Each structure stands twice: as structure tokens, then as C-alpha cells.
Structure 1
Amino acid sequence: MTTNKQVIEWTESQKQEMQTNLLAWYDKEKRLLPWRENKDPYRIWVSEIMLQQTQVATVIPYFHRFLEWFPTITDLAEAPEEKLLKAWEGLGYYSRVRNMQEAAQTMVEKFDGNMPNNLKDLLSLKGIGPYTAGAIASIAFDLPEPAVDGNVMRVYSRLFCIEDDIADPKSRKIFEQKVRETISHDRPGDFNQALMDLGATICTPTSPKIEIDPLKNLYESYKQGRFEDFPVKKKKVKTIPLYYVALAIKNKKNEYLLRKRPSEGLLANMWTFPLIEVTKSEYEKMVADWKNYLLDTKEPTLFDFVAESEEPLLSGVFIEQLDKAHKTVAWQKQPIGEVTHIFSHRKWHMLLAHGFVKENESVKLQENETWAKITDFDDFVFPKPQQKMVAILNNLSNI
């Protein structure tokens, strides 16, 4: 692509044409979403935070439950952390909901439990950046503020042939300025939501439906035959792989050992089976041994345990790290499943090992550990990798 950073300027007539065509299309084609039922700023805020990194279809049931559990900003501010995280369980990026609670507490302290109605105060709240502040300001309070997300940047890069990298934070101001120049002052909230819908359904990253796009005649990139050259985006940051053995240890009461993660960092204060990190080579050897075992064993059973004199297929590294569990737990010869999960820039690979506490033995609990039956797992906040491992256990009916 030829680099050309000349800024394209529109006439007032072109701006009016965009507003008229876009809003007419929106009035006819807008998506019916629960947070659009009214202009309650709290509902708008909750939906916008949930929609970050998450698809609309996934968000809708979470949105309903969240508003049921925490119907007001004050309810959110006063919610116990366990209930808060449970409401968010499965959405991921848990810092979002922690920041929401901190923002709600600020609103209770400084704004009488109400959402502030100006951009400056909105931006002062934890977890509310330019996009979310612009969405709330325009939709709830009819302020002509831009709400620039990936959809909007894609539309505007194609409208104006904007060559700036949309993955570069410094580019945001360029797009915000273009939205300010073109936004409807009569219907700013609808204008921003129309852009979101257009980017999500018509002006999509691949296979855009240009023939039915209400802005077809305004795209400078289309006129130049370069429509799909935009937006410009640098390559993603490479995902870092991490390797674990997860320990599903069952006691005589049919309870499983759970470990609470630290209060800071990824998946803070959430519960998982104990996770032992191993090297890539150790992990790959365990997987290879496991697959060979399944090939060589005609009828492997869930109760095929490692004898005292045998070398386990799973590396002894993970066993040694669990407070002498290698002496108190009878381990199955092979893993009972494998789970992978991708976080923003990390990919977890996990082999699930299964074992039973031996007769007349016990596992000494650490401060951050507890025992729980599968039937009680709903009382714990689990991250997605743990939910996947629990699904494996649930599928093994004879455990």
C-alpha cells in the first residue's frame, strides 16, 4: 500500500449526507439490545464494560443477571467481592468488574450514587476511558462526544483513507477528531450507536457488505479501489505459552482440593485445582507418554493407578511440589484430560492429573486451600480454565 497521510477534509454537505444516511439506516436496522431500552447511564455503563473483549450474544444473559443482582450503583459499590466475581464468572478480564466497583464507590462518595453527566468527571472514574466516557456522555446525556472503538476506527479509516495504525494508542486522537467533525449534534448517542452497528454488521473486517452500506458513496477508499486496505493495523503481540499440570485430588468425602489464587495479578482471588508449572519439554514428554499409553492400552480405566514401585507417566516434578502429596495420594497412571485457554497474550496448556487420598492418609491444607464437593462448586468463583477442567470431571460419570 502506498503511504499517504494527507488528511481528507469534507464539506458541510458531505457531513450532512453522512448523518442523514447513517441515522436513517440505524432507525431501520438497529440491533434490539436490552441496554438500549432506555437512556439509564448505569445500564449503558455496565453494557459498555461487558462488551469490551466480549461478543454481544455472550454479554446479554450476563447483563440481565448483573442488573438483577446489582440494580443500582450503590448496590454495586456495596457488593461482596465473591458475589461480584461470581456475577462476572466466565466473562474473563476480571479487572473490569473490580474497576467497576471502585468507580461505583467513587460515585457514591462524590456524586450521591449517580453517574456524572460530563466528560471530565466520567474520565475521572476507575476503568472508564475515552471510549466508555464518550458512549455514556453521548447516549445517556446527549453530548456530542466521540466513542471510538475498533468498529468506528474501521469505518472512519475507510471513509477518509486514514493510514495511521489503529493499534497505536496515539492514533485514537486522529479518529476522535474526525468523529467530532462529523457527529450529529441532534442525535449524538444514536450516531455513535449507528457507527457501532455499522462496523459490526456491514463495514466488517472481512467480507464487508459495501453494496448495502448506507455510506457507500462517501468512502474515499472505495472510490480509490483500496477499500479493503483499511484499516491499517500492526501485527498482534505474540502469545506466550505456559505449561501446567493441574491436580484434581479427591478425598474420602468425595471432595476436591481447591486453591485460591493470590489477591494480585491474573485471576486474582479465584479458585482452581492446584496448578504446577512445568517446562515446555516436560509438558510435551508427558503428553507424548500419555498418547502412547492410550495407544498401547486396549482398555485404560479411570482406576488404573501407579503402583508404589512404578514410575508414573506424569513427571514426578509436579507431585513433589504438593506438600508430600506423592506419599499421601494414589495417582492414576495417565491424565484424564487436557485443557488449553488463551488469555490476552498468554496461552495456558494444562494436563489434568487425577488422584485419591490414600487410606489412613491426609493432605495438609495450606491457608489458601479448601475441600469442596462438585455439587458445591457453584459457590466458588472459577476462571474459564477451571470451568473446562470441571467439565472433564463431570463427563467422567464413574469418578
Structure 2
Amino acid sequence: MPAVQQAFYKSGDIAQALLTHYNAHARTLPWRTPPGQGFANPYHVWLSEIMLQQTTVAAVGSYFQKFTQTWPDFEALAAAQDADVMAAWAGLGYYARARNLLKCARVVVAEYAGRLPQTEAALLKLPGIGPYTAAAIAAIAFGQRAVVVDANVERVVSRLFAVSTPLPQSKPLIRAATDGITPDTHSGDFAQAMMDLGAGICSVRAPSCLLCPVAFACDATRLGNPEVYPAKTPKAAKPQRTGRAYWIERDGHVWLVRRDDKGLLAGMRALPDDQWTARLDGDAIPPVPANWQKLPVNVSHVFTHFSLLLDIAVTSWPMDADDPGDGVWWPLKSLDKAGLPTLFRKAAEAVLNAGERV
């Protein structure tokens, strides 16, 4: 680390400059308390941080509002039906977060009288809470000094200190550097200020260094190459899987099933499919014998570890026949209320836009 950078590192000038900027330019977000107005609601901080994992602020806003209106606290959420919560989460992705959300709320009610514990160590014991989320809650909701490092903070800090080691190997270095500039007080505001800086001025491409409140201390700015940080190890190509969804229609209704409690999209309502997984293509075996017609459309979707190309087969189900297994006939007019995950919502839209189906 250059000598001049060490001086800023030790003096707290970075933290002071950033907090001053945050006081004037903090983003207004529904889960935040403005700087200088006390700590944020712990339930709101927890809920927003879980929703924001691998998801943008813009995508989370409406979901946060819906959840807090429907389930305003831990007690209400803990008492909710699993299917209702999963349906409300539909479209936000990474559905294990929703399952852990319910588990965590129920533990908080059962073991902590409906109040989150305040220390990182205790928070880490709760379902769905990892090191970043525990640190964020401890700092933002309870005013504890905690080192909060998300992707935005990684980018800011890797540029401040010109960390040339690629991610993810550089994570310990970045955390240590973040620890060095995190103030003993106002660490929650500092963490949110770092997030705001990374989400705006210190963006992935074309960072606005002339507007940056900590440009005076930034090695990447001094070197003239901020966009090369953080360095990253090239990602391996995602495997491509294929599968099929089955549309069974009767009298203005479509047959929906509930997926298994474990695995991808666990517990969600969905169209029947041919057992595709992250590791295997589907077997193209229909869920029931019928006069199936394959539509000339398909749906593509990218999961965390693989991509999926899904084609669709449709059939009309006789009015006098037994139901095609375990599931529910869902009215087409209210299909938007079924809480289908994005993949199956895309498939349903493809079918409905295909015109004559069966």
C-alpha cells in the first residue's frame, strides 16, 4: 500500500469524507432510515437484505412493499402459510431465500420473542443469514461496528486500494481493507454509504471519479484505470439443459402442480414438466397419457448454475375424466395470482400468446 494511502487508511479521512457525502446524498429507500434519524427497523433491514441477495434494488422495491403490508412483522410472517409466501415471492428468484425467510421468522418468534438478536454471532445462527447479512443487520439495525462487504463494497474497496488479486481469491484482502476504514461509530451509515457509492458513482463501467468523495484516496483513480478493478477469474460457461413443460387445459382452467419440497423451485406452483434438473436434460415423458401437441415455441431461462431451453406440449383434458394426478385446476383469468416462478410464467405466456392451443 503506498505511503500516502496508508495515511488516509489510518486517519479515518476516507470514512469522514464518505459519511459527509452520504448525509447529503443518501438514496431514499423504503427500508432505510435517513442518516441522523436513528436506526432502521430490524425487521425491515432483515427482510430487505434477504431480498437484495443477488437481486437489484429496483427489482426488490415492490416486493418489499407487498411483504411489509401483508406481513408487517416477524409474528405475522411466521404465522403465514408457506404457499402464500412462496406465491408472493414468485418472480424474485432464488427461491431458497423465501423458504429460509419463513424458517428464520419462525425461529425468531419461537426462540427470541419476535425480536432479532443484535450480535453478528447470534444472527449467523439463524436460517438464511450469512456473514454479509449478519454484519449488515448488526450495523444498520443495531448500530454495532461491523464490517459489511457486498459486491458494491468489493468494487469500491478494490479500487481504493488497487487490489490486483482476482476475485474470489481477493475477498480476505478486501475485507481486511474494509475493516481498516470502517469507523467505530456510524458503521451502519458507513456501510450504506459504501453501497450507494458502488451503486452510483463507482459503477462497474465508466465510474464518475470526478464526483467521488473519496477520489483523493483512491489508488485506481491515481493509476488512471479504475475499470480494471476488481479483477475477476474468468467464469466457466454454464451448461445448457433442455426440458419440456406440459399444459393441460379444461374449461378455462390449467392444471398446476406443486413442486417437491426439495430441489430447484421447491414448493412452488408450476406446470408439470419432464423431470429436467441442473444436471440432466428432461426425459420427454408426459405426466399422463393424452393427445399431446408440441407447440412451435420454446422458453429460455438462466439459472445460477445452468441455462434451460424448455419446449411446451399441450392437451385438452376431458370434462368427465379424473384429474391428472395431484394438483389444482387454476382459472386462466387469474393465472397471474398463481405465484408461478418466472420460468413457468414465461411458459404460460408463450402458450397463451400462441393462439389456438388444443
Same fold (TM over 0.5): yes
* Range with bigger deviation, 11-20 or 92-101: 11-20
Q: Is the 8 A contact 2:82 2:102 kept in 1?
A: no
AA of the residue aligned to 2:13:
E
1:145–1:275 Cα change, 3 Å: same
1:277–1:114 Cα change, 3 Å: closer
State the aligned residue count: 348
Match of 2:36 in 1: none
Q: Secondary structure at the match of 1:132?
A: helix
Q: Does residue 384 of the first structure (1) align with residue 351 of the second (2)?
A: no
Q: Does residue 181 of the first structure (1) align with residue 177 of the second (2)?
A: no
1:233–1:242 Cα change, 3 Å: same
AA of the residue aligned to 2:153:
V
Q: Secondary structure at the match of 2:255?
A: strand
Match of 2:353 in 1: 395
Match of 1:299 in 2: none
Q: Is the 8 A contact 2:9 2:180 kept in 1?
A: no
Q: CA deviation at 1:215?
A: 1.2
Alpha-carbon distance between aligned partners in 1 of 2:132 and 2:56, rounded to the nearest angstrom: 17
Alpha-carbon distance between aligned partners in 1 of 2:3 and 2:333, rounded to the nearest angstrom: 61
Q: Does residue 345 of the first structure (1) align with residue 302 of the second (2)?
A: no
Q: Does residue 324 of the first structure (1) align with residue 322 of the second (2)?
A: no
Q: Does residue 275 of the first structure (1) align with residue 273 of the second (2)?
A: yes
Q: Does residue 371 of the first structure (1) align with residue 329 of the second (2)?
A: yes
1:6–1:23 Cα change, 3 Å: closer
How do residues 268-307 of structure 1 correspond to structure 2 at under 5 angstroms?
Answer: 268-276=266-274
Structure 2: where are the runs of 5+ without partners?
A: 34-38
Match of 1:115 in 2: 116
How do residues 1-399 of structure 1 correspond to structure 2 at under 5 angstroms?
Answer: 10-11=6-7, 15-37=11-33, 39-168=40-169, 171-251=170-250, 253-276=251-274, 318=284, 321-325=286-290, 329=291, 331-332=292-293, 335-357=295-317, 362=321, 365-367=324-326, 369-378=327-336, 380-396=338-354
Q: Is the 8 A contact 2:153 2:194 kept in 1?
A: yes
* Range with bigger deviation, 157-166 or 54-63: 157-166
Identity of matched residues, %:
32
Q: Is the 8 A contact 1:151 1:195 kept in 2?
A: yes
Q: Is the 8 A contact 1:237 1:345 kept in 2?
A: no
Q: Is the 8 A contact 1:335 1:354 kept in 2?
A: yes
Alpha-carbon distance between aligned partners in 1 of 2:319 and 2:133, rounded to the nearest angstrom: 56
Q: Secondary structure at the match of 2:244?
A: strand
Alpha-carbon distance between aligned partners in 2 of 1:64 and 1:229, rounded to the nearest angstrom: 37
Q: Is the 8 A contact 2:100 2:128 kept in 1?
A: yes
AA of the residue aligned to 2:341:
P
Alpha-carbon distance between aligned partners in 2 of 1:275 and 1:82, rounded to the nearest angstrom: 20
Q: Secondary structure at the match of 1:265?
A: coil
Alpha-carbon distance between aligned partners in 2 of 1:90 and 1:15, rounded to the nearest angstrom: 45
AA of the residue aligned to 1:127:
G
1:121–1:383 Cα change, 3 Å: same
The superposition leaves residues 81-136 of structure 1 with CA deviations (integer Å, 9 ceiling, x where unpaired) of 01110121110111112112212222122211101111111111111111111111
1:359–1:196 Cα change, 3 Å: closer
Alpha-carbon distance between aligned partners in 1 of 2:324 and 2:319, rounded to the nearest angstrom: 17
The superposition leaves residues 360-393 of structure 1 with CA deviations (integer Å, 9 ceiling, x where unpaired) of 7x365223x3332213435533111111122234
Q: Is the 8 A contact 2:159 2:220 kept in 1?
A: yes
Q: Secondary structure at the match of 1:276?
A: coil
Alpha-carbon distance between aligned partners in 2 of 1:322 and 1:112, rounded to the nearest angstrom: 45
AA of the residue aligned to 1:377:
L
Alpha-carbon distance between aligned partners in 2 of 1:278 and 1:381, rounded to the nearest angstrom: 21
TM-score (norm 2): 0.89
1:219–1:121 Cα change, 3 Å: same
Q: CA deviation at 1:272?
A: 2.0
1:89–1:11 Cα change, 3 Å: same
Runs of 4+ in 1 over 4 A off after TM superposition: 5-9, 396-399
Q: CA deviation at 1:396?
A: 5.0
The superposition leaves residues 38-75 of structure 1 with CA deviations (integer Å, 9 ceiling, x where unpaired) of 61111011111111111111111100111111111121
TM-score (norm 1): 0.80
* Range with bigger deviation, 149-158 or 71-80: 71-80
* Range with bigger deviation, 118-127 or 238-247: 238-247
Q: Is the 8 A contact 1:148 1:172 kept in 2?
A: no
Q: Is the 8 A contact 2:246 2:286 kept in 1?
A: no
Q: Which has the higher Rg, Structure 1 or Structure 2?
A: 1
Q: CA deviation at 1:259?
A: 2.5
1:260–1:336 Cα change, 3 Å: farther
Structure 1: where are the runs of 5+ without partners?
A: 284-316
Q: Secondary structure at the match of 1:64?
A: helix
Q: CA deviation at 1:187?
A: 1.4
The superposition leaves residues 12-37 of structure 1 with CA deviations (integer Å, 9 ceiling, x where unpaired) of 67642212221121122211101113
1:185–1:257 Cα change, 3 Å: same
Q: CA deviation at 1:9?
A: 6.2
Q: CA deviation at 1:161?
A: 1.7
Q: Is the 8 A contact 1:153 1:166 kept in 2?
A: no
Q: Secondary structure at the match of 2:93?
A: coil
Alpha-carbon distance between aligned partners in 2 of 1:397 and 1:384, rounded to the nearest angstrom: 21
The superposition leaves residues 142-162 of structure 1 with CA deviations (integer Å, 9 ceiling, x where unpaired) of 111111011111111111122
